[in-house]
Chain A
Amino acid sequence: MQTGLEEQLGLYQKRIPIFTRSVKGRFRRFKTTVLVLAYAIYFLLPWLPWSRLDAPSQAVLFDLPGRRFLIFGLTVYPQDVVWLALLLFIAAILLFFVTGLVGRAFCGYFCFQTLWTDFFIWIEHKIQGERPARVRLYRQPWNREKLLKVGGTHVLWVLASFWTGMTFVAYYAYAPQLVLDFFTGQAAAAAYITVSILTISTYAAAGLMREQICTYVCPYGRFQSVMYEPETLAVHYDARRGEGAHGRATVRAGRGIVVERRRAESAEPVAVDRRQASLSAGERALAERHEKGLGDCVDCGLCVQVCPTGIDIRDGLQYKCISCGLCIDACNTIMDSFGFPKGLIRYDSEQNLAAPEPTAPRVEWKRLKTIGYGAALILMSAYLAYSIGTRGSYDRAVNQIRQPLYVVLSNGDIRNRYQVRITNKAAQDQTYEISASGIPAGALDLGNFREITIKPGHSGLVQASVRLTPELAEHTHHFELVITPKGKPGEARSETVRFDSPKEEHD
């Protein structure tokens, strides 16, 4: 009656739990180094002191109520949003540049989802043990041991998530005071809301969702895929070598890794044991395999066990691969233990793998796209550095008053008015002088504000009016308003402004 309906699939794929085996190697070391460095910067930076006259002594402080961003010796105001825009452009181009060269390096080593997941897995590993122990724990019914271990893991995760949120908030207020206020219930509502949201999202993303964020949520992983080129280096399984003519094959018990692997908690002790014994034996074993048409892959499955996204790299390049290199470490360990050459799984390009005579993998940068991205990266970084290096001590804006554009005075003279806004970005009071060039002396009327003193971080507004005779007005279309910080003639800047008169309007 209901034939076929039993095969109906659910709308949502159920998460398949992943228990990663720990592994040692070059890529693991690199990932750990990045993790420690990134965490040191993120968690310690808000606590770095920095002496300031007019602000809390915190090296990096995003002072939102004061509308300024204090980053070491640099004060950034909202007007400098161009720097932020430029920084984001640079980050985007850097991502394109790196992805074109070495694939999803960002995903595998630097993305905060990867870093936090890695850290959370480390906690899980410390409490619940290596992969087999975790699988066993997962399968066993709820008892005291499971409750303690799983509960403890989650408690530590929540604590880590909470401190992640707390640290984020600490960038926005004087950290020691904020932490004190936070726990005495006196911090701003925004602090509690932000910390709650970040605690929940960190816990959910790094503890519960993990690779699902990369697979289903994150757009970056997907659009980095389209930047791959045949020359791009990526984590590949050398299928030609691994499969041979008749495919991969396990090593028989007694001669290989299968039995011993069951004994060992991690792959590393096995590798050490075998390394000495089987160097020359490995060459012989390999020759034997090749005679039988077998590939080099011993099908130990370690590359799958260490994968944080739970994929099999031997199925080829796939969208779930975040390019973390852990399978390379795992495979090299095994290859080493048999005395087989390393690099069955390695960073290589599709082009090289498909070549009749594959060469040693190397970074191919001589491509128009890569060179273009590189050039853009250098130009934009240079401009950003130049722009920050030569930033002025003040901002100015001269707006002509447009209602009305000009006024005819009683003796026929034409008057235009302007609003001059000066923002003092220096750390002390500064007096500014305003003058004009290109019009007769005395034509510029600044009322009582030929010079104006402005407090640091504040703006001053001056109304300027310029009065010209009709004859002169007819020939004057533009003139210069010059703003000079008193005592710093080198920082004088001029603004070209329009002068409107009735004649001009009829043109």
Chain B
Amino acid sequence: MSEQKLQSQTVQTTGHAWDGDLQEYNNPLPVWWVYTFYVTVVFALVYWTIYPSWPFGKGWIGGLSNITYVNSDGETKTHSWNTRALLLEDMNRAAIAQKPYFDKVAAMSYAQIAKDPDMNGFILSAGKALFSDNCAPCHQAGGQGVVGFFPNLTDDDWLYGGSFDKIHETITGGRHGYMPTFSEVLSPEQIDQLANYVASLSGIGHDATKAAAGNVLFHSETAACYYCHGADAKGRKEIGSANLTDNIWLWANVPAASSAEGKVAAIRSVIASGLNKGVMPAWAGRLSPEQIKVLTVYVHELGGGQ
């Protein structure tokens, strides 16, 4: 069996005695606790040597541990350990790992990229990351845009054209859509007539007499709408004027209005006040050519392109 030992122990005293018999109990810390404490002391000393620890003059003691990484310019950088350098190291390592893919993007034509299953997977993931970082604040996370502010990139209507080249041009150089204010040139009745005509083009409920008058006005020199929107009202891609005959609305929030009057009113307000907010910034200096190329394919795939 076993060596039975008494579990009890006598109480220790510190050995002092006052007034003859007044003693002080000694209640030592558990041994495991004391040794754990010593281990933490040793740990702290090791930690101070390896990692940044104490403020010193205007700086601090950096510690022996270094972080070395190669940045995008190919330079090797070394810092004493800190979390910012750690992040830079991670980011640069990721960039280097991504580089072969971006090199491939740069070397391939749009048609080739669109047919390659591996590149397709890369575009869907890398493109989504780039889009989320740069484009989503206006065009929304899924590219659906906001009626009245930012174009929907997932439909099949492209103001400036939906080919790879046109999308690339749009991202690189930016766009600025403009429509003059007509409230100073035309009377409210004329604007109402025009609005009814535009509604009729898309098959929305309208007043036929007003629309007929609007038709005349649209093609006259008084309003001169056809200058930009074309005689067939289908818009001109070279200047980015909207196609007024389809079901897509960017500026006038027609889909949101429930009644026919409301829809016409939404069109009326756009004609009256004009537009000067269709501004998309140029991304040429802000993104690398490969990144723009990835985004071009990604945006093309969002709406199916043209």
Using CB atoms and an 8 Å cutoff, list the residues of chain A in contact with chain B: 1-2, 5-14, 16-19, 138, 301, 304-305, 310, 401-404, 407-412, 415, 417, 419, 445, 447-449, 452-454, 459-463, 465
Given contacts A415-B154, A448-B115, A465-B304, 18 further A-B contacts (CB under 8 A): A9-B7, A10-B7, A11-B30, A16-B4, A16-B5, A17-B3, A138-B3, A301-B1, A304-B1, A402-B142, A404-B142, A407-B152, A407-B303, A410-B246, A410-B248, A411-B246, A447-B301, A452-B117
User: Smallest CB-CB separation from A445: which chain B residue?
Assistant: B304
| Distance in angstroms between the alpha carbons of A42 and B8 in the assembled complex | 44
| Distance in angstroms between the alpha carbons of A19 and B2 in the assembled complex | 7
Contact of B8 with A14 in the complex, beta carbons under 8 Å: no
Digitize B273-306: 1 where CB-to-A-CB distance is under 8 Å, 0 elsewhere.
Answer: 0000000000000000000000000000101100
Residues of B within 8 A of A452 (CB): 117
Which of B1, B5, B143, B301 has the largest count of A CB atoms less than 10 A from its CB?
A: B1
Distance in angstroms from A499 CB to nearest chain B CB is 16
| Distance in angstroms between the alpha carbons of A504 and B117 in the assembled complex | 34
Report 21 cross-chain contacts, Cβ distance below 8 Å, ordered by A residue.
Answer: A2-B11, A5-B11, A6-B10, A9-B8, A12-B30, A19-B2, A301-B1, A404-B144, A404-B152, A404-B154, A407-B155, A408-B255, A409-B156, A410-B155, A410-B156, A410-B247, A411-B246, A417-B154, A448-B115, A449-B117, A453-B117
Residues of B within 8 A of A6 (CB): 8, 10-11
Q: How many positions in chain B have a CB within 8 Å of any CB in the partner chain?
A: 37
Residue from the list B8, B142, B301 in contact with A8, Cβ < 8 A: B8
User: Smallest CB-CB separation from B141: which chain A residue?
Assistant: A403
Which of B30, B124, B155 has the largest count of A CB atoms less than 10 A from its CB?
A: B155
Using CB atoms and an 8 Å cutoff, list the residues of chain B in contact with chain A: 1-5, 7-11, 21, 30, 114-115, 117, 120-121, 124-125, 140-144, 152, 154-157, 243, 246-248, 255, 301, 303-304
Contact of A410 with B121 in the complex, beta carbons under 8 Å: no
Contact of B3 with A1 in the complex, beta carbons under 8 Å: no
| Distance in angstroms between the alpha carbons of A310 and B3 in the assembled complex | 10
Contact of B3 with A16 in the complex, beta carbons under 8 Å: yes
| Distance in angstroms between the alpha carbons of A463 and B298 in the assembled complex | 11
Q: State the total of A-B contacts with C-beta under 8 angstroms.
A: 101
| Distance in angstroms between the alpha carbons of A454 and B5 in the assembled complex | 70
Residue from the list A14, A138, A301, A403 in contact with B144, Cβ < 8 A: A403
| Distance in angstroms between the alpha carbons of A179 and B21 in the assembled complex | 68
Contact of A463 with B301 in the complex, beta carbons under 8 Å: yes
Contact of B141 with A410 in the complex, beta carbons under 8 Å: no
User: Smallest CB-CB separation from A403: which chain B residue?
Assistant: B142
Contact of A8 with B11 in the complex, beta carbons under 8 Å: yes
Contact of A16 with B117 in the complex, beta carbons under 8 Å: no
User: Smallest CB-CB separation from A408: which chain B residue?
Assistant: B247
User: Smallest CB-CB separation from A310: which chain B residue?
Assistant: B2
Contact of B11 with A461 in the complex, beta carbons under 8 Å: no
Residues of A within 8 A of B303 (CB): 407
Contact of B304 with A13 in the complex, beta carbons under 8 Å: no
Residues of B within 8 A of A463 (CB): 120, 124, 301
Residues of A within 8 A of B117 (CB): 449, 452-454, 460
User: Smallest CB-CB separation from B124: which chain A residue?
Assistant: A461
User: Smallest CB-CB separation from B245: which chain A residue?
Assistant: A410
Residues of A within 8 A of B144 (CB): 403-404, 407
Distance in angstroms from A406 CB to nearest chain B CB is 9
